[in-house]
Amino acid sequence: MTVADIVKRAGIARKTFYENFTSKEECFLAAQEYAMETALERVVAAAGSDVSWPRRVRAGLAAFLEYVAEEPALAKTCMVEALAVSPTSIGYYEESQQSFVSLFRLGRDVSPRAKALPETLEEAIVGGVFWIVYQRLVAAEAETITELLPELVEFALTPYLGAEAAREIGAADVKGESGRKLKKLAN
């Protein structure tokens, strides 16, 4: 991809591009920043709609996966291709993961095992979720990514609540969701 490709798609003059960005890389970083912020906003909004932490995690993860499924090209640009741009973009990617970490950390307030949980647990959970999403984007399977919700919820909640409770919350409401999906298709 060249600056010429970008200005053509954006329908702007080359001059306008250079008024806003000094290079393709800078433009890439801005796109990455924008997408990551949007994703985080959606996650926070969705998670805020519930009071129970496990359900918040579920709602937040669902919002994240839906965003990826809705915008697979943008997601791929920001979570796959941006990594190949420069160490700066890798750094940005790493940093944006940290915002998700704090959302998971709230689980320590409700976990009976809170004191025993490893310090790096949330970092590892977020890293695992991002890796799964990365793999699906590389394999061009973004459209079906929302199907992974139950298992990712279970993966994220198990250390806090134990496998059984985590599985229940992961599987909860799936009928309701597919019901909504069917309705959407029917309309």
Partner 1 sequence: MSDPVNPVESPEFPPELARLPPGRHGLPREFVAHNQRERLIAGLAEAVAENGYAGTTIAHITRHAAVSRRTFYEHFSSKDECFVAAYDTVMIELRKRVGEAFEQEEEWPQAIRAGIAAMLEFLTAEPSLARLSMVEALVAGPVVVERYDAAIQSLVPYFEAGRKGRSKEILAGLSATTEEALVGGMVSLISRRIFADRLDELEPLLPDLVEFTLTPYLGSAEAAKVARAS
Asked whether 53 and 106 are in contact (CB, 8 A), the reply is: yes
| Residue choice 10, 13, 138, 182 for contact with partner 1 (CB under 8 A) | 138
> What are the backbone dihedrals phi and psi of residue 166, each rounded to the nearest 5 degrees, phi first?
-65, -40
Asked whether position 151 contacts partner 1 by CB under 8 A, the answer is: yes
How far from 166 is each of 127, 154, 170, CA to CA, in Å? Answer: 19, 5, 6
Site string for partner 1, 61-100 (x = CB under 8 A): ----------------------xxxxx--xx--x--x---
Q: How buried is 20 (Cβ within 10 angstroms: 0-12 exposed, 13-18 middle, 19+ buried)?
A: exposed
Site string for partner 1, 26-55 (x = CB under 8 A): ------------------------------
Asked whether position 182 contacts partner 1 by CB under 8 A, the answer is: no
| Residue choice 12, 45, 124, 182 for contact with partner 1 (CB under 8 A) | 124
| Residue choice 4, 26, 30, 113 for contact with partner 1 (CB under 8 A) | 113
How far from 68 is each of 38, 51, 56, 83, 121, CA to CA, in Å? Answer: 11, 25, 18, 17, 24
Tokens at 143, concatenated: 């459209």
Cα 164 to chain centroid distance, Å, stands at 25
Asked whether position 146 contacts partner 1 by CB under 8 A, the answer is: no
Stretch that binds partner 1, among 35-43, 47-55, 64-72, 115-123 (CB under 8 A): 115-123
Shortest spacing between CB 81 and partner 1, in angstroms: 10
| Residue choice 6, 158, 173, 177 for contact with partner 1 (CB under 8 A) | 158
How many CB atoms lie under 10 A from the CB of residue 138?
12
Handedness of CA 141, 146, 147, 153 (dihedral sign): positive
Enumerate binding residues for partner 1 (CB under 8 A). 83-87, 90-91, 94, 97, 113, 116, 118-121, 123-132, 134-135, 138, 148, 150-152, 154-155, 158-159, 162-164, 166-167
